[in-house]
Chains A and B, each alone.
Chain A
């Protein structure tokens, strides 16, 4: 049974939790995802184009970033790097780690999507006189990003939830705030369920948004989702 006291706490804390959600969790996700996409496209391209040396650097980066826990990466960068004299504020540290981590996963998505674009697209582009990079930019990459879109959307949604880990490096995002409130009034179950519901709300909105955008993008005149 939800007591009147608990209900009051939940109502009051809802805004207290939502605020850092809007002010920290969402911007942190958005900025990190933006950099992740830049990293992902570059990393995927050097592999797809088989650029010497860089493609091996890309493989190594993906291997490390995907093979170690996100939480460990956060600790290494925030608590570990100061040993080398590199001191980062919590939010920049979080952005760096989330971008690099997510970038590695998305790079694989983008690379697979690039490979799914028929090679004839590149050949046709070369035959009308465009350079490799021009065909990439105008023809292959746009098609690949369309193919990758649903999968990248899932990665974005996963990232919203993963930002809760940033509470471990003193970023005052949603979950950090919830922990603070909960330890003050000891309503752990209610508050943790509440913050869970707020994450659920964010992800639901993103999922709906994904559908809308996907429909808008269409698939170049073909039936949607092709």
Chain B
């Protein structure tokens, strides 16, 4: 459903993505791995046009786009089919948990408020936060905020979900509750692109894996083979380095 070819992006003359290719089928859970600074965040941001790429093509639902020259309308249409979960949640601070989930529906989709709230409550229940609907983000723990953010991402029923290190801002005790929700989404057959350092989660939930280094895809393939028999030396070294000690 999503295919990317030759995605390039530079910041101030420094090339951060050097021609990334990517292919995601419906129902895939793709784990994107790579050390800090390898371009993972930039890749996701380019896919959702939070950052404008310098070059590359993207196919989404059968249509090819030039990523560097995409019109506002095309971007808006594409965003309507995607959702983004940020590393630091980015919940709307002036809105309650329920409003966070419902806002995109009422404002962007013009869904009647009652309907949007009903759906919002349903999604909050799904992430285990039915009793936190009226809380503001500042009244929630990091793990709870990230789960609200996931509920918000699900509200528009996106075809693909992007996660940028959704648990790395959390205390270790809190990562489990977020990963559990994501595992559930994976089992439901949601298409997900997940940047993560949680190898356990990636092994268990991902169907595909990609290793990024210096803005290039070093290795990509089905998750089982990727984790059990990585072909590239750099991938092997990375996977060894990130294993929990002991």
Contacts and interface: CB of A to CB of B under 8 A. Distances in A.
Which residue, A123, A146, A226, has most C-beta atoms of chain B within 10 A?
Answer: A123
B48 A138 contact: no
B90 A134 contact: no
A129 B156 contact: yes
B90 A124 contact: yes
B86 A124 contact: yes
B138 A121 contact: no
B94 A142 contact: yes
A128 interface: yes
Given A120-B86, A220-B138, A222-B136, A130 B104 contact: yes
B229 interface: no
Nearest to B49: A126
A118 B90 contact: yes
Interface in B141-156: 149, 152-153, 155-156
B104 A123 contact: no
B245 interface: no
Given A138-B107, A221-B138, A129 B76 contact: yes
B93 interface: yes
B139 A128 contact: no
Interface in B39-94: 48, 50, 76, 79-80, 82-84, 86, 88, 90-94
| Majority SS at the chain A contact face | helix
B109 interface: yes
A125 B156 contact: no
Contact of B103 (A123, A128, A220): A128
Contacts of B80: 129
Interface string B102-140: 011001110000000000000000000000000111110
Nearest to B155: A128
B95 interface: yes
A138 B90 contact: no
Contact of A221 (B79, B90, B136, B155): B136
B79 A129 contact: yes
A127 interface: yes
A139 interface: yes
B242 to A, nearest CB: 26
A143 interface: yes
A131 interface: yes
Interface in B130-189: 135-139, 149, 152-153, 155-156
Contacts of A139: 92, 94-95, 103
A214 to B, nearest CB: 15
B136 A220 contact: yes
Given A123-B86, A143-B93, A128 B104 contact: yes
B144 to A, nearest CB: 13
Given A128-B103, A129-B80, A123 B136 contact: no
A221 B109 CA distance: 27
B104 A129 contact: yes
Interface of B: 48, 50, 76, 79-80, 82-84, 86, 88, 90-95, 103-104, 107-109, 135-139, 149, 152-153, 155-156
Given A128-B156, A129-B80, 5 more contacts: A121-B92, A129-B79, A129-B108, A129-B109, A221-B136
